[in-house]
Amino acid sequence: MFEPNYTRRRFIRSLGVAAFALTPSAWSDERLRTPWQTAGPFYPDRFPADTDNDLIVVDGRRVPAAGQVTHLSGRIIDVRGHAMAATVVEIWQVDSNGVYLHGADRHAKRDAGFQGYGRFVTGPSGEYFFRTIKPVPYPGRTPHIHFKVTPKGRPAFTTQCYVKGEPLNATDAVLNSVSDTNARAALIVPFSQISGSNGGELSARFDIVLA
């Protein structure tokens, strides 16, 4: 039986123990910069009352979001591999029906149990964590998750994360606007089943490298 409140508390508690620190010597070579991608037209025009990093369970609702639960994590680093602490990481994506948290997106009924948007502030390791769902296609787009990253004292940077092995990647105009093969590949990550997960939960890791 899914226990939203217990699962939510357990997930948020885990954030305090999951972060790790890497020394600059572990990142001697300059990293490939993450390509910029458009924020698109559906950055939320209103924010949910609940804007934490768990998009599966909305405060006040006992029914969790539909979709395949995904634990999404990564690091925000510079090209030398140095962690970028105090960076605000925002994500937004469609729900299991392919609908954004935006008043202009009315092509289908929105899942009220999906938060649609989340926010996390990185600690000393530059690590971020979200619990969300595996993205699904939106009309005209391959499955993706939008990211807006705002380091302390610097302008915001937007990009998108894609699902490795998704056939629609080959024809997605936004993804394929990145002409450099290696840079484009850096936006595509595996969404892998977590060993021992009874609910078929997934994990995905998407590191973002800023200039």
Q: List 138's β-bridge partners, or say none.
A: 141
Q: Given the structure tokens 């790790």, which residue do they identify?
A: 20
- Which structural domains are found in the chain, ordered by start? 4-18+27-210 (2.60.130.10)
Q: CA 178, CA 108: separation in Å to the nearest integer? A: 30
pLDDT tens, position by position, 138-196: 999 999 999 999 999 999 999 999 999 999 999 999 999 999 999 999 999 999 999 98
pTM: 0.85
Determine the pLDDT at residue 108: 93
pLDDT tens, position by position, 17-69: 444 444 444 444 789 999 999 999 999 999 988 899 999 998 867 788 999 99
